[in-house]
Structure 1
């Protein structure tokens, strides 16, 4: 007859791990007959907890003795202890994974911040070294100057044998500069003194500023007075101004006279029918002549009727940056007026960038005659017409430059020239001639200025 041994397994309310442990680690279930007789009972213990009881028949033992039960119980307890440790480690790992991620993220942020601080520190150290080098260089120069000054103090003054100077008695004679007045006849070639006719340009005076623009729109532009006004509405005292900075230039400001212009009080503002390109416009005989934006079209705008009077496409003319003056600004086509009429200064593909001059009919804008010169348009800063002659300005930024070339349309001959010219404000974007006042009008970096000029009789066979 066989007896049965009952083992009760309980651990923190976990049933399945204990069940697996008990079933997997005991030789009680080695016999199939014993496994068939295994029973499971569930009941509450005196403490109110759920209690599971396994009953398995033992094929070897006749009864359950206390001595033989203890080793089995010790084995179960040891396995339960190992299981508890395993669960504790698993629980700790699950809870610590997020913390590890956060810790890793924090470590990355700290490393990045540390790298940034290190970089800034290195930059500051480099700047500090540069500043120290500059300070040392300045200190060295200062020491040299101090030594040089000390050397000059110790060096005795050279003695002179001139009896007029008696240094021992402390009598010093003041050195005075003798100013010699040079008559104008020595500056202007003989025969040109008081010459008031149409002649060759001999000199250009210093610029006189009449107004300074008060906004960025006045960086460059054009301003003029009509040398031959027509009608009674406007006179030769009326001042006209166009600011050429912007995408759609249409406003023509009108001032009653130079005084109102200087104070910035226009008497009206006209809106032109077509936008203006660059700074090449001119005023002549009651009309504004200008180039339409992004085209080779010339427009005559009648100032009295405030309407478009005529237009013409200038044949083969380069435009919008193909052959401008050296300062740029889309100055491909430049209109001008002088004693002999209306002119246009430009270039063509055939001329390969060389300056071309055409005389226009003031009414219809038809081309009367054309001349080609040997000076390239993009090598000069600006150009203007005086008495049928083309003059070019060498630089638009150099404070002291020259008018470096002249071309006579009567003889068809051009030659180099060297007449001093000043860009006082270092960015001259417009130069035009008013033959009634014998002045050049210019726009020099926000400043609207005029130059007095001197004309004389022609030389070298020119008219």
Structure 2
């Protein structure tokens, strides 16, 4: 029983690095001490080892005195009285221990809650820092004379002597935005960030078009950083501009201009696994153009697909066939006469362009402004001109179920003619009234 009293009075140990100690001070009163381990010992003021040892010695002295009194009472009095004293002391110690354990549990819970709040604040601070980086834009400034020299193509919007740009670039390099993507985050779309401007077209041919990056390049010549751009206004659209990265894209110096063997139609093209996929002008023919060999690798008819203004998005532009890429592969978004203008989704073989499986939705294609695929789900945009609109429908190919949603979306320049998802960078790429922008997206945990 003495040893039980010794260990009960000495300390009550807490979990997760926290401890609660009870002792009797020289005045005869109970004294409790609650201790939480610090990540840095130097940050704990008053952490003197000698004072802790003095406290332990003091408690041991009091404990020895108490044990001596109990033993003396047991020897000098009757056996029953000594037993009663021991029982009373035991009950008192047990009650104190129980109370201390309850207090310890409560304080431990409070510590965990404070740690959780601290982690949330750190995440929020990181998010704010990321938005601060993303909202930094290139300064407007005046345009310089950029006429072609010796037959070399020079994009009109650039300025090598722009000191402000160089300063901004250094800042972004020093504090990069976080691009952490968890494997389990492939569920529903939770939010779309504000648009970040990367480039503005300089002529009427750039009112709308296609610009994107390959999420999964396989050839030796291009990487995930390579930027591809097609100006989609004109009678014969064949030029595909390649930029080394976003910096070169922003300055306006293409490293290469590829002339396609057959013209494309509208803004439904996409780049995937080092190939450009596009719809041939005035037809339902799909073409896979190998970017490394610069040749047509395959072509295929999309059965029953409308084309050249039969089933476009609400903004028009001959957007009957929209090709898209996500974590699950290559898709075609279109409609047929059998579907009466409702959106049809088909998964395509990326090599042969053969149709694998198709889903017919109940979403009228000409009632939505644009669409994209993410995690096997189709998302549609309500308006292409409203500055503040929403992603208004989602169709899940895993369940075949369509649901209304209302994820806020901004058309800053009020004429959004292209919208594509890049799963490698976890962004949406858009062409909004001469302006090429990206949006950060946040997806929920996967449920598949």
**1:358-407 CA-partner distances (Å, limit 9, x unpaired):** 00000000000000000100000000000000000000000000000000
Whole-Å separation in 2 of the counterparts to 1:416 and 1:354: 16
Choose the corresponding residue for 1:309, options 290, 297, 313: 297
Whole-Å separation in 2 of the counterparts to 1:451 and 1:278: 22
Specify the alignment match of 2:368 in structure 1. Answer: 380
Q: CA RMSD for the aligned pairs? A: 1.8
Specify the alignment match of 1:229 in structure 2. Answer: 217
Whole-Å separation in 2 of the counterparts to 1:257 and 1:331: 28
Whole-Å separation in 2 of the counterparts to 1:230 and 1:412: 32
Choose the corresponding residue for 2:426, options 438, 450, 454: 438
1:455 and 2:437 are equivalent in the alignment: no
1:199-210 to 2 correspondences below 5 Å:
199-210=187-198
Q: Secondary structure at the match of 2:250?
A: helix
1:285 and 2:273 are equivalent in the alignment: yes
Specify the alignment match of 2:346 in structure 1. Answer: 358
Q: Measure how far apart 1:200 and its partner are.
A: 1.3
Specify the alignment match of 1:27 in structure 2. Answer: none
Whole-Å separation in 2 of the counterparts to 1:415 and 1:450: 25
1:17-28 to 2 correspondences below 5 Å:
none
Q: Which has more radius of gyration?
A: 1
Q: How many residues align?
A: 274
1:251 and 2:236 are equivalent in the alignment: no
Gaps of 5+ in 2: 1-119, 128-179
Whole-Å separation in 2 of the counterparts to 1:455 and 1:316: 33
Specify the alignment match of 1:415 in structure 2. Answer: 403
Q: Measure how far apart 1:457 and its partner are.
A: 2.3
Q: Is the 8 A contact 2:219 2:273 kept in 1?
A: no
Whole-Å separation in 2 of the counterparts to 1:344 and 1:317: 10
Specify the alignment match of 2:317 in structure 1. Answer: 329
Whole-Å separation in 2 of the counterparts to 1:318 and 1:273: 23
Q: Is the 8 A contact 2:220 2:292 kept in 1?
A: no
Choose the corresponding residue for 1:343, options 312, 315, 331: 331
Q: Secondary structure at the match of 1:289?
A: strand
Specify the alignment match of 2:57 in structure 1. Answer: none
Whole-Å separation in 2 of the counterparts to 1:406 and 1:457: 16
Q: Is the 8 A contact 1:431 1:440 kept in 2?
A: yes
Whole-Å separation in 1 of the counterparts to 2:309 and 2:394: 24
Whole-Å separation in 2 of the counterparts to 1:420 and 1:291: 30
Q: Is the 8 A contact 1:316 1:349 kept in 2?
A: yes
Whole-Å separation in 2 of the counterparts to 1:259 and 1:251: 21
Q: Measure how far apart 1:194 and its partner are.
A: 8.0
**1:122-174 CA-partner distances (Å, limit 9, x unpaired):** xxxxxxxxxxxxxxxxxxxxxxxxxxxxxxxxxxxxxxxxxxxxxxxxxxxxx
Whole-Å separation in 1 of the counterparts to 2:403 and 2:234: 37
Q: Measure how far apart 1:337 and its partner are.
A: 0.4
Whole-Å separation in 1 of the counterparts to 2:181 and 2:189: 14
- Gap change, CA 1:198 and 1:273, over 3 Å in 2: same
Q: Secondary structure at the match of 2:194?
A: coil
Whole-Å separation in 1 of the counterparts to 2:343 and 2:415: 22
Q: Is the 8 A contact 2:387 2:412 kept in 1?
A: yes
Q: Is the 8 A contact 2:299 2:353 kept in 1?
A: yes
